[in-house]
Homo-oligomer: A and B are copies of this chain.
Amino acid sequence: MGILEYFPVSDNLTDNQRLVLEESAAARSAPKGTLLHSGSSDCIGLFVVRSGRLRAFILSDEGKEVTIYRLFERDICLFSASCIMSSIQFDVSIEAEQDSELWVIPPDTYKKLMEESAAVANYTNEIMASRFSEVMWLIEQIMWRSMDKRLAAFLLDESSLAGSDKLDLTHEKIANHLGTAREVVTRMLRYFQSEDMVSLTRGSIELTDRAGLEALAK
C-alpha cells in the first residue's frame, strides 16, 4: 500500500500534491526499542504507522518517564515534526514499542500541504485534538485516580494489546509507563498477588482474576 492509502484526506489533494506526498515519503523500519525521536532537538518529519506500535512519552530531568499515548497502525505522529507549528512548545520522545514499519513525511512537505489545503489543515487539527484528548484523560488519571486503580487498568489494557493474559513486563517498565517508582509497582503487584488477581514470576505477570482487576479499575 502506498502512503496515499494511509492518508484519509488524499482524495482532497490535487494530482500534483498527491505526487509530492508520494515522492517525498520515505519508508523506514524501526526494530523494537528504537528511539525514533527525542525531545525537540530534531524535527525529522511526521511518522505514519504502517505496522507495529509506537510509544510517546515524556522524560524528566532525572530520567523519569511517563507514557502519554500509543500510536497504532494508520496513526500519524505530529510531534516528531514539531517545527511545522511554532506553538508546539513541548518535548516528547517516541520509541518503537514493537518492530514497526513507518512512512516518514518531511516537515517542509507537510507544512506546505497544510498551507495549501484546508482539508489537510483540518485533518491535522483532528489528529492534534485526538492526542489532546488522550493527554487530558491522563491528567484526570494522575490527579484523581489512585495508583492501584491505574495499575489495574494498565494491566488490563496491556493484556488486550498483547492478546494474552501473560505479560512480559518488568516492574521497572511498568513504573516508566505510569510515572512512578519501581518500588511502588512491586509493592502493589505483591498486593494484587496476595489477592489472587495476578501471579508473578521472574520478568512476567499473569492476570489470574480479570473480573477482580476490572472491579478495582472502575
Residues of chain A at the chain B interface (Cβ within 8 Å): 58, 60-62, 64, 66, 68, 85-90, 92, 114-118, 120-122, 124-133, 135-140, 142-144, 179
Q: Please give, as numbers and ranges, the residues of chain B lying within 8 Å of A136 by CB-CB distance.
A: 58, 90, 92, 135
Q: Please give, as numbers and ranges, the residues of chain B lying within 8 Å of A124 by CB-CB distance.
A: 121, 125
- Assuming the A-B contacts A114-B118, A115-B118, A122-B114, are A87 and B129 also in contact, with contact meaning beta carbons closer than 8 angstroms in the complex? yes
Please report the C-alpha to C-alpha distance between residue A68 and residue B114 in the assembled complex, in whole angstroms. 28
Return the chain B residue nearest A85 by Cβ: B129
Nearest chain B CB to A147 CB, angstrom units: 13
The reply to whether A128 and B139 form a contact with Cβ atoms under 8 Å apart is no
Beyond A89-B130, A90-B132, list 17 extra A-B contacts (CB 8 Å): A58-B140, A64-B144, A66-B143, A85-B126, A88-B129, A88-B133, A90-B136, A114-B118, A114-B122, A114-B125, A117-B118, A118-B120, A125-B125, A125-B128, A135-B135, A135-B136, A143-B179
Q: Please give, as numbers and ranges, the residues of chain B lying within 8 Å of A128 by CB-CB distance.
A: 125, 128-129, 132
SS of A interface (majority): helix
Nearest chain B CB to A196 CB, angstrom units: 29
Q: Please give, as numbers and ranges, the residues of chain B lying within 8 Å of A86 by CB-CB distance.
A: 126
Q: Please give, as numbers and ranges, the residues of chain B lying within 8 Å of A92 by CB-CB distance.
A: 136
19 sampled A-B residue pairs with Cβ under 8 A: A58-B136, A60-B143, A68-B139, A85-B129, A87-B126, A87-B129, A87-B133, A90-B137, A92-B136, A115-B118, A116-B118, A121-B121, A124-B125, A132-B132, A139-B139, A139-B142, A142-B142, A142-B143, A143-B179
Q: Please give, as numbers and ranges, the residues of chain B lying within 8 Å of A61 by CB-CB distance.
A: 144
Q: Please give, as numbers and ranges, the residues of chain B lying within 8 Å of A139 by CB-CB distance.
A: 58, 66, 68, 135, 138-139, 142
Please report the C-alpha to C-alpha distance between residue A61 and residue B62 in the assembled complex, in whole angstroms. 33
